[in-house]
A and B are shown apart, each in its own frame.
Chain A
Amino acid sequence: MSVHTLEIDGRMVTALEGETILAAAEDAGIFIPKLCAVEGLSAPGACRLCMVEIAGQNKLRAACLTRAAEGMVVRTETSALREQRKLLVELLLAEGNHVCSVCVVNGYCELQSLAAALDVDHVRFTPRYPARTIDLSHERFGLDHNRCILCTRCVRACDEIEGAHTLDVAGRGRTARIITDLAEPWGHSESCTGCGKCVRTCPTGALFLKNKPAAEMKKDSGFIRQIIAARREKIWI
């Protein structure tokens, strides 16, 4: 397998053939903000936070979708990119009903951490305060649409890893929302296996375990990588 050498933020980095800029950067310990991409799941290129500059290209590229190429010169952190990411995070914060102080994942939320990392100390846009619902019909899980950022990690984990495809997106634009089966209450779902992969990949408090204190709500989508590796190696611990 061939290896490419490229430059990311002034550092020489190696990438395997077919590897994305995002993966190459993460392997080298370079942090590129992202909310939708998860290692092991398909990349939709939806959050647009990982957009980077590539020398010689006049358009910005999503690092999660762009393959690393030999000799590429990538910049992941410029003042323009930083400002852009702040705007995107502010748009997300204004779009839903994100109230950290009463959220089950306060302290463990990827949206919250990212906002802090980008110095988002206030939101310049009018909050939309949309009227959204909460689905608590499932025995163990809850789905709070107020906190959903439509990254579709749950949809992809459910479809691509668990193979259940219980979750999907309905509606469009600002009315788009996650649904279970044919927009039925989650508790009535016949396809849901109750595996909980959706909850573990959710970057915010939109999907949560019922009856758990906030301190036990720490999530980590790294388990997807482990499942994929275990399936490939046929080794299960």
Chain B
Amino acid sequence: MTPQILARAREAEQDRQSRLRDRILCCTVAGCLSSGAGAVRRSLEQEVERQGLGGAVEIAGTGCMGLCGDGPLIRSSKRDLIYSKVAPGHAPAVIAGAHPAMTADHPFYKGQRRLVLANSGRADPERIRDYIAAGGYEALLQAVTRMTPDEIISVIRRSGLRGRGGAGYPAGLKWELVARQKSPVKYVVCNADEGDPGAFMNRSVLEGDPHRVLEGMVIAGRAVGAQQGFIYARGESPLAIERLQTAIGQARNERLCGERIFDTSFNFRIDLRIGAGAYVCGEETALIASIEGGRGQPRPRPPYPPESGLWGAPTLINNVETFANVPAIVANGAEWFSKIGAPASPGTKIFALAGRVARTGLVEVPVGTSLQTIIEDIGGGVPEGYEFKAAQTGGPAGGCIPASALGVPMDYDSLPAIGTMMGSGGLIVMDSSTCMVDIARFFMEFCMEESCGKCVPCRAGTVQMHSILERITRGEGDPRDIARLMELADLLQNTSACGLGIAAPNPVISTLRYFREEYESHIHARRCPAARCRMHGEAAA
């Protein structure tokens, strides 16, 4: 691949697409596929053939358009319309443009700002030409041929991009730490081990726009001086793995990764490593141990991976969404990015909106958008007849936000202040039928099952906290249980060896903070206010 070939490929594909009468893009990501998008796509293809529209109307796949709860979603690129809940029988109407549709000013899309998901609904994840036509690999060209590594790092640093994996560590700072190490061997690792219950942000990005992540990684490799990258993906997301394999193969064939990228002396190879589904492998040192072939359990830090990571070499680890932000930042500049979102945490964040809300799916909003805007404007609010009770953010490491705090801006600093966290982007809306003690028990069970077992507070402490919570939800709670829970929560936070144990008590602490009366009702009145827990001695409903 040379600059000229890239430009020609882009123009040729843009030209080809513009000459089509319509290009109908079917969501080809796990959510819509599970609601029958595969059959819809086939029926559209058959209908095109039947009507003899072969060269004029093209049916292609595309990434997540967000409104997963109303899938399968189909987009007509010429009409710029999105069709929801499409069935195979709707094919003729969709092709004719006669099917009821949503436009871009639909409330679900209006409050969103799609940067990472920019190609979703527009490009086919299985065709590198689609990505190139959308301006893909332009940033890499720029980074490899016209920028020094220092300049790339400076752009990332000035953009203010913070790690999207949950902790929000400034990405530029991390890149700089790795770049500064004097080592002939360095690695770039993409953490795609997304394991929070209900979260599918990273999976959707990988399934819907894998080249964006690859491009971000190659740019990072150039910036920090690495020649090898690894993507650590979950074995539970076979489609994401398949798309990544396809994309890596295509990029290698086009010399956009691998050897002599853009005919320069810069080499950067990307390989996939598949995890076996341990949640703790999302922790960076456990992830490194797993790639090395060891037991997936955290190692003591320091040394931190930028100093000594994979096989002892300086290693840059970023999350999928972090890498996916990189191409646009390099292409459009740090200025542009820093003006989006909140000043202290610029850019956008993808959330997986789920639970008792009218519209569920993936939403990408500027960081700092209020929780209220996401739930009410974008999500359409809690359906009539139900009452909002709490929103859970940050997955098992996060906390529950009550109605009184709905105005909170979703950013890396405001959420910890009210006892929860941004996490990787899970967002579950709960109504009055949810028992908060039961929710705390659910997340504690998750942490207990996912604890690697290495350190005592996490291995044995989660078991005891879970057993206390279970006892309370059974109506056998003891008046001293709340104090015991708090004591253990303190112990886990203070002494656990990694983030899993440190954060495991968060759901308990936040529900105790905002919904203490529910615990007390279970313990003293033997009554579950949400009527969800079956109390000891109570007849089955």
Residues of chain A having any CB pair with chain B under 8 Å: 43-49, 51, 59-60, 62, 65, 84, 87-88, 91-92, 94-95, 124-126, 128, 149-150, 168-169, 171-176
A169 and B295 in contact (CB under 8 A), knowing A60-B495, A88-B491, A128-B463? yes
Q: Is the CB of A48 within 8 A of B448?
A: no
- Bound CA span A87–B50, Å: 73
Q: Which residue of A lies closest to B467 (CB)?
A: A126
- Bound CA span A126–B469, Å: 13
- Bound CA span A168–B289, Å: 15
- Looking at A87, A128, A173, the one whose CB has the most chain B CB atoms below 10 A away is A173
A173 and B488 in contact (CB under 8 A), knowing A51-B494, A62-B300? no
Q: Which residue of A lies closest to B464 (CB)?
A: A125
Q: Which residues of A contact B454 (CB under 8 A)?
A: 44, 46, 150, 176
Main secondary structure of the interface of B (DSSP, over half): helix
Q: Is the CB of B464 within 8 A of A126?
A: yes
Query: Given B300, B460, B464, B484, which contacts A45 in the complex, CB threshold below 8 Å?
Result: B300
Q: Is the CB of A91 within 8 A of B495?
A: no
Q: Is the CB of A48 within 8 A of B460?
A: no
- Interface membership of B526, Cβ < 8 A: no
Query: Given A49, A91, A171, which contacts B460 in the complex, CB threshold below 8 Å?
Result: A91
Q: Which residue of B lies closest to A43 (CB)?
A: B300
B291-335 CB contacts (< 8 Å) to partner A: 295, 297, 300
Q: Which residues of B contact A49 (CB under 8 A)?
A: 456
- Bound CA span A176–B278, Å: 13
Main secondary structure of the interface of A (DSSP, over half): loop
B486-500 CB contacts (< 8 Å) to partner A: 487-488, 491, 494-497
- Interface membership of B80, Cβ < 8 A: no
- Looking at B295, B459, B460, the one whose CB has the most chain A CB atoms below 10 A away is B460
Q: Is the CB of A48 within 8 A of B457?
A: yes
Q: Is the CB of A91 within 8 A of B453?
A: no
Q: Which residues of A contact B494 (CB under 8 A)?
A: 51, 59-60, 84
A179 to chain B, nearest CB (A): 11
Q: Is the CB of B456 within 8 A of A88?
A: yes
- Bound CA span A26–B278, Å: 37
- Interface membership of B87, Cβ < 8 A: no
Q: Which residues of A contact B345 (CB under 8 A)?
A: none
Q: Which residues of A contact B462 (CB under 8 A)?
A: 173
Q: Is the CB of B455 within 8 A of A173?
A: no
A149 to chain B, nearest CB (A): 8
Q: Which residues of A contact B76 (CB under 8 A)?
A: none
Query: Given B280, B455, B463, B484, which contacts A46 in the complex, CB threshold below 8 Å?
Result: B455
Q: A60-B495, A168-B295, A172-B450 are in contact. List 19 more A-B contacts (CB 8 A).
A: A44-B454, A45-B300, A45-B497, A47-B456, A49-B456, A60-B494, A65-B300, A87-B488, A92-B460, A95-B460, A95-B463, A125-B464, A172-B280, A172-B297, A173-B448, A173-B449, A173-B462, A174-B451, A174-B459
Residues of chain B having any CB pair with chain A under 8 Å: 278, 280, 295, 297, 300, 448-457, 459-464, 467, 484, 487-488, 491, 494-497
- Bound CA span A173–B449, Å: 6
Q: Which residue of B lies closest to A59 (CB)?
A: B494
Q: Which residues of B contact A149 (CB under 8 A)?
A: 456
Q: Which residues of A contact B463 (CB under 8 A)?
A: 95, 128, 173-174
Q: Which residues of B contact A59 (CB under 8 A)?
A: 494
A-B contact count (CB 8 A): 89
Can you sample 12 A-B contacts with CB below 8 Å?
A45-B300, A45-B455, A45-B497, A48-B496, A84-B494, A125-B464, A150-B453, A168-B295, A172-B280, A172-B453, A173-B451, A175-B453
- Looking at B454, B487, B488, the one whose CB has the most chain A CB atoms below 10 A away is B454
Q: Which residues of B contact A51 (CB under 8 A)?
A: 494-495
Q: Which residues of B contact A48 (CB under 8 A)?
A: 455-457, 495-497
- Bound CA span A150–B457, Å: 12
- Bound CA span A87–B485, Å: 12
- Bound CA span A171–B462, Å: 16
- Bound CA span A125–B491, Å: 14
Q: Is the CB of B464 within 8 A of A91?
A: yes
- Bound CA span A47–B458, Å: 10
Q: Which residue of A lies closest to B461 (CB)?
A: A91
Q: Which residues of B contact A47 (CB under 8 A)?
A: 455-456
Q: 4 smallest A-B Cβ distances: which pairs? A: A176-B453, A91-B460, A173-B451, A48-B495
Q: Which residue of B lies closest to A96 (CB)?
A: B460
- Bound CA span A223–B187, Å: 39
B236 to chain A, nearest CB (A): 16
Q: Is the CB of B457 within 8 A of A172?
A: no
Q: Which residues of B contact A95 (CB under 8 A)?
A: 459-460, 463
Q: Which residues of A contact B456 (CB under 8 A)?
A: 46-49, 88, 91-92, 149
- Bound CA span A95–B455, Å: 13
- Bound CA span A215–B231, Å: 54
- Bound CA span A47–B464, Å: 17
B263 to chain A, nearest CB (A): 46
- Bound CA span A162–B484, Å: 43
A195 to chain B, nearest CB (A): 23
Q: Which residue of A lies closest to B495 (CB)?
A: A48
- Bound CA span A47–B494, Å: 13
A44 to chain B, nearest CB (A): 7
- Bound CA span A48–B456, Å: 7
Q: Is the CB of A176 within 8 A of B484?
A: no
Q: Which residue of A lies closest to B462 (CB)?
A: A173
Q: Is the CB of A172 within 8 A of B491?
A: no
- Bound CA span A84–B495, Å: 8
Q: Which residues of B contact A168 (CB under 8 A)?
A: 295
Q: Is the CB of A150 within 8 A of B300?
A: no
- Bound CA span A169–B452, Å: 10
Q: Which residues of A contact B295 (CB under 8 A)?
A: 168-169
Q: Which residues of A contact B300 (CB under 8 A)?
A: 43-45, 62, 65
Q: Which residue of A lies closest to B294 (CB)?
A: A168
Q: Is the CB of B496 within 8 A of A176?
A: no
- Bound CA span A126–B461, Å: 11
Q: Is the CB of A46 within 8 A of B460?
A: no
Q: Which residue of B lies closest to A48 (CB)?
A: B495
A87 to chain B, nearest CB (A): 5
Q: Is the CB of B491 within 8 A of A176?
A: no
Q: Is the CB of A94 within 8 A of B453?
A: no
A94 and B460 in contact (CB under 8 A), knowing A65-B300, A172-B278? yes
Q: Which residue of B lies closest to A173 (CB)?
A: B451
